[in-house]
Amino acid sequence: MPFATAQDGTDIYYKDWGSGQPVVFSHGWPLNADAWDAQLQFMADNGFRAIAHDRRGGGRSGQTWDGNDLDTYADDLAAVIEKLDLHDVILVGHSTGGGEVTRYIGRHGTGRVAKAVLLGAIPPLMLKTEANPEGLPIEVFDQIRAGVANDRSQFYQDLSESFYGANREGSTVTQGIRDQFWLWSMTVGIKGAYDCVKAFSETDLTEDLKKFDVPTLIVHGDDDQIVPIVAAGAKSSKIVKDVTYKVYPGAPHGLAMVPVFADVFNKDLLEFARG
């Protein structure tokens, strides 16, 4: 299998489909690169080179005890980009992956980057603080940690409901979509999954967003029950300079995997990539 080697020697698995301008995808918690398969195929079918990696701690990448933080995730992304010697890259990040993309730009700049896409992404900060009253209280993240620590299999099954908006009237989310969420999540080691909760909830990415100097597309569903739009897309869109901000009415957090919303997102992504 194809691997890049991280700074600490960890193997980072990636898939690399098609040819053309590279589009590199970073996935959300607690999933793996397979969550992007529909977009990888779509972009490769449309003349792009589509790449996605498994975040350390899960999938086919190494499961490390340390390094489950956004600085290291960003450096792992850099290792993939540098291993493949990619230039003119379009970075696409969903949820925690959006934080990974944001911290990558904050730490590594945009020398290899042409554009960025943040989808239902965690920046600037998920945690409620005095300076960030729109965020979620720490108790929400403590409950997530408890779910992972005590019965992660059932927790992931339950989480798939709000992740995809299956609890909303008129939802077309199938059991298959929910089952794949559980399957991907269970490939992530408990240590990496647990530590990542702190990484995605308590990392302030405001200063990283200020370093964006490439065209950026921010997409967020206004019915996102995991990363509420008011503390995320709505705020990030006011910090990033060259931004196109799109709100999808009624869309859940995992909109890229729900066909009715994925079709719209794929179209917007392709239009942005070609623009």
Report the catalytic residues.
95, 224, 253
**Helices 70-83 and 190-202, axial angle in degrees (round to 10):** 110
Q: Which residues pair with 93 in a beta bridge?
A: 26, 118
* Contact status, residue 10 vs residue 76, Cβ threshold 8 Å: yes
Report strand pairing: 11-17 vs 48-53.
antiparallel
Q: What's the half-sphere exposure (Cβ side, CA atoms, 13 Å) at 199?
A: 26
Q: Which residues contact 262 (CB under 8 A, 6 or more apart)?
A: 38, 39, 255, 256
